[in-house]
Amino acid sequence: MASSSSKDAASWRKKNQNQNQNQKDQIHFVNARPSSETEKLKIQRMVRAHVGKWISDQTRDRSAEGSSAPGLDIGMGGILQETGREEGANDGTPGTSRVTFLDEYEGLSRSSSSPDVVESSSRSSSESNAPVPVTGSSSEQRLAHRPVVKPQSHTPHRTPTPQQMSTSIHEIPHTYNHTPEVARPRLPTPSIDRIGISSWDPFHTYPSRYSPEFIRLHEGYSLSVVWPFLTPDSPNGSGIIGNSTWFPLSLTDATLFTAFLFSSLSHQCARWRNRSIPHGAFKPQDLRTLQMVEIETIKLINEAVQDPARAASDAVLLSVLCMAHNTSNDSSQQRANGMPFTAPLQRLQWLDVYGSLPPNLVHIKGLIQMVMLRGGIEKIELPGLASILSFSDILTASSYLSRPVFAWMPLEKHRGGHTLQTLLNFTPLDIDHGFGRFCDLGFTPKMAEAFQAARVYTNIIADYLKGKMVKPDLTMLVDQRNLVHYTILSLPTATELQQRHTYRTHEIIYEACRLAALIYSVGVVFPLPSGSTPISDLARLIQTILQCPTSSCIWDYTDASTALTWVLALGGIAAENLPERTWFVSALGHTARQNRISCWNDFRNAVGALLWCDAACEQPGQRLWLEVARSFQLSY
């Protein structure tokens, strides 16, 4: 009886195993190009349900095999092979991936143009699964090895050091190896614990027709290089907004996903053009790929805006934003020359990159219209989107010396109600003791407040560079910098304030100081690279104002003469390598004699009474003073 029962149980188990095996061997076909959003969502749910069931079955099978069939070795290795590339069973030849993608462009199926994705097709399975060593924290080292993007809980974002933020990228040692013959270890096959926010989907369900290698390389570049500086993490651990919010959104929207691929390629191209990465890191093949992805992104955006339900959606807004500040036109910008100012934090929000690319005014106009359709920038709720739209607006206004269109929006939403005084922690009394005294000479209260805010921000940056901040909050630095610069950009011209100024002399002082403040702001506070900075135009405008016949006798007062010295100093720095430099040297020399400024220390103390940042202004200031000293026989 016992024997019969045992046989029945064995027969039942065998029958059940056969049924389970038949269920697991079922093949499900899905439409790769769904015709509607409903069909797309249905397919996504089907794929995710199938994957979840498959993982559950594998887990249950491993548990059963551990007690009844130890000879079967399916385990996690089976999951890894399912999501990666199979090796030949007996002959050692590589198999094919379980997931294949149709690619109209032959060059995109394997990203063979990039030296860091060279693979050996004959590598053994044990070698292919070996981890790729990634040493150091430099963002450039990502190009030498494919990125392994892990969940933030496993690899928390490290706040960049002052040296990382203030040192130009080309000064950091590189670890590139551009020899095509040297095969690199393949990226470790993704394991199940890497599925999640800002991590790669090992089942390749992302909405793109491009190859997994191509997507992994360029979307990984956004996750590990671009977004940590564009939307830095805050000390409260809220995460990098681009990684935690934008990337998951792109996985559900093909337009945004392709736009992110385009922006990643454009970012790398801009860094190559600016000599921030080695010459061989971006090749002609990569430029052709960039152009093809741009064309596809434009096509997808045009299709999206025809759909009333998507025309002004968050995903489409982000996609158009990518188009507005990226380009595939290599001939539109030559490699950037040096700036006279040596400003810190040029890499914060990638000002050195996005500032070197001319804004596409067609897309900028479209962005403005889309935001207005949403009811204004204040109505946009997606984390980080309103702030980046505001940043885009400030960047464009800086290049064209215009006023921002949108309101300033902080990176951290809870700072939305802050003013200059609350965000930078100064009071009206500080203004009275500082720049309030210049109100008798033509400053408006708003200008005095803006100057005070710029001075406070300069002191904050000095503390940051000296390492006095234990845990610097880069999101706070971003919000403070952008609000200070936004306020200076928004100051009205003297012509617009004619009713406020009683005397013509006050109007001249106000306008000269406003223009000099703009030089300081785009050169130090919000440092734009040479390709887009308007400082040469500002220098010419200052010269025009100061050559006005009625301006010769208005600088006799002590505060006025101090302001004139500062205006001429910033104008002279901005005019470096320009014909106007000679005029500024002459005017500054005469002013120095009248104010008994006879050496560099005297000059440094005079300009320091207004706005001056040693880290950014000392070197160009010394070059300017050296010319003045030689021309007027003054001490250096």
Give the model confidence (pLDDT) of 226-275 as tens digits. 999 999 988 877 789 999 999 999 999 999 999 999 999 999 999 988 88
Co-location of 604 and 461 in the same domain: yes
Residue with the bigger pLDDT between 574 and 213: it is 574
In a domain, 70, yes or no: no
Kindly report the CA angle at 456 between 453 and 458, in degrees rounded to 5?
A: 110
Co-location of 221 and 251 in the same domain: yes
Give the chain's end-to-end CA distance (angstroms, integer). 111
Co-location of 386 and 456 in the same domain: no
Find the mean pLDDT for residues 516-537.
95
Portion of the chain with pLDDT greater than 70, in percent: 67
Residue with the bigger pLDDT between 187 and 455: it is 455
Looking at residue 110, its pLDDT comes to: 34
3-state DSSP assignment of residue 268 = helix
Co-location of 268 and 398 in the same domain: yes
Co-location of 380 and 436 in the same domain: no
Residue with the bigger pLDDT between 92 and 380: it is 380
In a domain, 239, yes or no: yes
Of the candidates 375, 409, 443, which is a domain's last residue?
A: 409
In one letter, which amino acid is 123?
R
Q: What is the residue range of 615's domain?
A: 429-635
Distance CA 487, CA 231 (A): 21
Helices (H), 225-348: 227-230, 241, 247-250, 254-273, 284-305, 314-324
Closest to 412 (Cα-Cα) out of 272, 566, 231: 231
Of the candidates 354, 379, 409, which is a domain's last residue?
A: 409
Residue with the bigger pLDDT between 530 and 24: it is 530
- 562: enclosing H helix or E strand: helix 558-574
Looking at residue 280, its pLDDT comes to: 78
Portion of the chain with pLDDT greater than 90, in percent: 51
Per-residue tokens: 137: 């924290």
Find the mean pLDDT for residues 435-445.
92
Looking at residue 103, its pLDDT comes to: 33
Residue with the bigger pLDDT between 109 and 533: it is 533
Please check whether residue 293 is in contact with residue 252, taking contact to mean a CB–CB distance below 8 angstroms.
Answer: no
Of the candidates 409, 439, 454, which is a domain's last residue?
A: 409
In a domain, 2, yes or no: no
The DSSP code for 226 is I
Find the mean pLDDT for residues 137-145.
37
**CA distances (Å), 107 to each of 61, 95, 182, 211, 295, in order?**
41, 21, 20, 10, 16
Does the pLDDT of residue 500 top 60, yes or no? yes
**101: burial class by Cβ within 10 Å (0-12, 13-18, 19+)?**
middle
Could you count the other beta carbons within 10 Å of the beta carbon of residue 534? Answer: 17
Co-location of 394 and 535 in the same domain: no
Looking at residue 575, its pLDDT comes to: 96
Co-location of 382 and 451 in the same domain: no
Distance CA 230, CA 160 (A): 12
Looking at residue 41, its pLDDT comes to: 73
Q: Tell me the sheet residues that pair with 87.
A: 94
- Dihedral pair phi/psi, residue 94, rounded to 5°: -70, 140
pTM equals: 0.71
Distance CA 362, CA 4 (A): 82
Distance CA 427, CA 429 (A): 5
Task: Give 541-569 pLDDT, tens digit per residue.
Answer: 999 999 987 666 677 777 889 999 999 99
Distance CA 223, CA 206 (A): 15
In one letter, which amino acid is 579?
P
Looking at residue 328, its pLDDT comes to: 84
Please check whether residue 421 is in contact with residue 428, taking contact to mean a CB–CB distance below 8 angstroms.
Answer: yes
Looking at residue 50, its pLDDT comes to: 67
Does the pLDDT of residue 142 top 50, yes or no? no
Co-location of 586 and 554 in the same domain: yes
**CA distances (Å), 438 to each of 302, 448, 531, 632, in order?**
52, 7, 34, 29
In a domain, 89, yes or no: no
Find the mean pLDDT for residues 323-331.
83
Q: Total domain count for the chain?
A: 2
3-state DSSP assignment of residue 167 = coil
Task: Give 161-219 pLDDT, tens digit per residue.
Answer: 544 544 433 333 333 233 333 333 333 333 333 334 444 556 666 788 888 888 888 88
CA dihedral 434, 439, 442, 448 (to 10 degrees): 50
Distance CA 371, CA 380 (A): 8
**CA distances (Å), 282 to each of 271, 287, 370, 506, in order?**
9, 8, 34, 53
**Extended beta strands in 40-186, E state:** 85-87, 94-97
Q: Which of 83-87, 199-203, 328-332, 408-412 has the lowest mean pLDDT?
A: 83-87
In a domain, 60, yes or no: no
Task: Give 299-314 pLDDT, tens digit per residue.
Answer: 999 999 999 999 999 9
Co-location of 298 and 357 in the same domain: yes
Find the mean pLDDT for residues 448-467.
96
Find the mean pLDDT for residues 132-152.
36
> In the predicted model, what is the mean pLDDT of the chain?
76
Find the mean pLDDT for residues 97-104.
31
Co-location of 438 and 401 in the same domain: no
Co-location of 457 and 405 in the same domain: no
Q: Which of 73-77, 289-293, 370-374, 591-595 has the lowest mean pLDDT?
A: 73-77
In a domain, 400, yes or no: yes
In a domain, 529, yes or no: yes
In a domain, 376, yes or no: yes
Co-location of 582 and 441 in the same domain: yes
- 373: enclosing H helix or E strand: helix 361-373
Please check whether residue 117 is in contact with residue 147, taking contact to mean a CB–CB distance below 8 angstroms.
Answer: no
